[in-house]
Amino acid sequence: MAIVLDKDQFVMITLQQVQKDSVVQLVAKPDTTNSNTPNPFKEEDNSQQYSDTLYKDIQVSILPFLGTNGWNSGRTINDYSINFFGGYSRGTRQIELGFFVNADRNDVSWLQLAGIGNLVGRNVYGIQAAGVFNLTGGEIKAAQLAGISNVNLGEARGIQAGGVVNLNLKSADGVLAAGLANIVLKSSKGVQVAGLTNIQLDGYHGTQVAGMLNLNKVYIKGSQIAGISNIATDYVGGSQISGLFNYARNVKGFQFGLVNVADSLSGIPIGLVSIVKKGYHKLDISADEIFYTNLSFRTGVRKFYNILHVGFKPGSLLLSETVWSFGYGIGTARKITPWLDLNLDLSTDQVNKDGFTNRLSLLNKAHVGFDARLARNFAITFGVTLNGYLTDKSYSNYPSLFTDYHPTIISNQNIGQTNNLKMWFGARVGLRFF
């Protein structure tokens, strides 16, 4: 009903409640049970505007939201994306190139390149490379390359190379290479190579190589190689090799370093000093044909131990000279019976007169001895030695070696133009503790 008036008038219209039964249905409701019912929006070009995610073949942008996708950039997944100063999208399925920064809310696949950095909210499946940094919120599978740093909040699978640091808050399986440091928080496997340090805060299956330090908070089922130090607070399935210090609770392989420390060791520790808690520790007080008082400490494992040694001639106190020595050696122990061991030692000592003899004065010994245990931590030790005393012929102020007993010199030869070597057989007897 239409109301038409030719001039302004006041009209009162009364509304009455319409009963349900009085309404006539003029438009039939679509039959939703028929699968062939047409969708009126299906063929329209803008039908995807009603979806949460848009799909485009290509995006070109100057800055985020300033490009071909406009304000829909954050909702659009592109096959290809070219970003000048910066670009933003929901994801990329093929290739994304950015002269400065690429930013994606979700996943990126195949190839992502940026002059400065890549920011990805979820996963990367393919190659991600940036001049400065890559930051990924999910996992990465394939390769991640950065001039300075790669940071992953999720897992990494593949190759990760950072000019300074690779940081993974979860696991990182594959090859990690960094100019400064690799840091991984969760259990991983593969190879880690760093110019300075590798830090693994959970178990690791593989090999770690660092210029200075490898640190494993738990175990490593592999080997550690470092310029300065390797530290594993639990188990090492392989070996530890460093220039200075190695430590692990349990080592299945060997340790090679200036100082080696372990609770238990299946292989051998090679170094200046090796301390194995469940290894070989012996303290000797002994006498031989030169020094009537010798103190020696053997530490390591039965297969290979280090010897730290000092010797002293008590009678020299009554003379105008004090004769003493200090030295180092290596050895091995073999069990003959439950109470008898065989020791084979090689050692060298600097023999000194008064404070220190600043010339060649080396007493070298090859020792074959026996360790006869009398009680749990007490034994007597005895054996024979082949001695070679190497001196400088041009120096005459050497100490007198023999006091009461003068052994037979079996060889007295000049070595080269300046040195002399005297050789004789000797003996040693003493008490051993531990």
The percent of residues in the chain predicted with pLDDT above 70, rounded, is: 87
Confidence at 242, pLDDT banded by 50, 70, 90 = very high
The model's confidence at residue 16, banded by pLDDT at 50, 70 and 90, is: low
CA 429/CA 381 separation, integer angstroms: 6
Mean pLDDT within 87-112: 95
What are the tokens at 6? 């030719």
pLDDT at 70: 85
Provide the token pair at 260: 């080696």
pLDDT, average across residues 264-280? 95
- What pLDDT is stored for residue 31 in this prediction? 46
At 2, the pLDDT band (50, 70, 90 cuts) reads low
> Considering Cα of 88, then 89, then 91, then 95, what sign does the dihedral take?
negative
Q: Which residues contact 33 (CB under 8 A, 6 or more apart)?
A: none
Closest-CA residue to 330 (of 297, 361, 360, 307): 307
Give per-residue pLDDT as tens, 112-132: 999 999 999 999 999 999 999
The structural domains of the chain, with segments of one domain joined by +, span: 51-276, 280-433
Per-residue pLDDT at 40 exceeds 50: no
State mean pLDDT over 26-51: 40
**Is the pLDDT at 381 greater than 60, yes or no?**
yes
* Span 308-343, pLDDT tens digits: 999 988 765 566 678 899 999 999 999 999 999 999
The SS3 call for residue 5 is coil
pLDDT tens digits for 143-181?
Answer: 999 999 999 999 999 999 999 999 999 999 999 999 999
Statement: residue 28 has pLDDT above 70: no
Write the pLDDT tens digit of every residue in 342-368. 999 999 999 998 888 889 999 999 999
Rounded CA gap, 392 and 75, in Å? Answer: 86
- Given this model, what pLDDT does residue 27 score? 39
Does the domain formed by 280-433 have CATH 1.10.3470?
Answer: no
- Average the pLDDT over 251-268 and give the result: 95
Q: What is the pLDDT of residue 49?
A: 44
Q: What pLDDT sits at residue 231?
A: 96
CB within 8 Å of 46: residues ≥ 6 apart: none
Tally the C-alpha atoms within 13 A of residue 293's C-alpha that lie toward its C-beta.
7
